[in-house]
Amino acid sequence: MSKQTVLTLLSAVAITLSSAAFSFDPRSDANEGSICVLGEKLDSGLGELSPVYAAAEYQVQRVAGEKLDSGLGGLVSGYAAGEYQRYRVAGESLDSGLGELSPSYTAAEYQIQRIAGEKLDSGLGELPDSYTAAEFQNKEIVATR
């Protein structure tokens, strides 16, 4: 073997095994980084916290009977936001955008016409009813003595 062939072969083997050396996991999320080192310990960034730490300073404290401010200010109890309601008029007809169509219009030109007893062509031509496509079936060969 020539030196060039040996180097090419070694390079191919090294590239093939490199994913195992770096513990490459193609199923991992690309955003989290997919290369990890065997035995690696990830730092959570929280430092050394005791096992009983519960982040109490970030917990919301509720007081019995507390009323939360909705941010709407002082609204009367009967306010129903009427200025944002859509009013409908009895007998109102909404424009469908189709123009002036007669009430009997059925869009028949877009309907698929079927004829009673119609046979759709499967594209297989005229095959007898007994045809089973046996030439495409998996055949098991059973040894006999």
For 7-28, the pLDDT digits (tens) are 998 888 888 776 665 655 555 5
Q: Which of 27-41, 53-67, 87-101 has the least mean pLDDT? A: 27-41
Q: Is the dihedral of CA 94, 95, 100, 101 positive or negative?
A: negative
For the chain, the straight-line distance linking the first and the last C-alpha, in angstroms and rounded, comes to 52
Averaged pLDDT, 128-144: 77
Spatial CA neighbour of 25 closest among 15, 14, 33:
33
Per-residue model confidence as pLDDT tens digits over 79-92: 888 888 877 778 77
pTM of the model: 0.18
Look at 70 and 5; give whichever has higher pLDDT. 5
H-only helix segments in 1-123 = 3-21
Other beta carbons within 10 angstroms of residue 34's beta carbon come to 14
Domain spans, the chain: 1-41
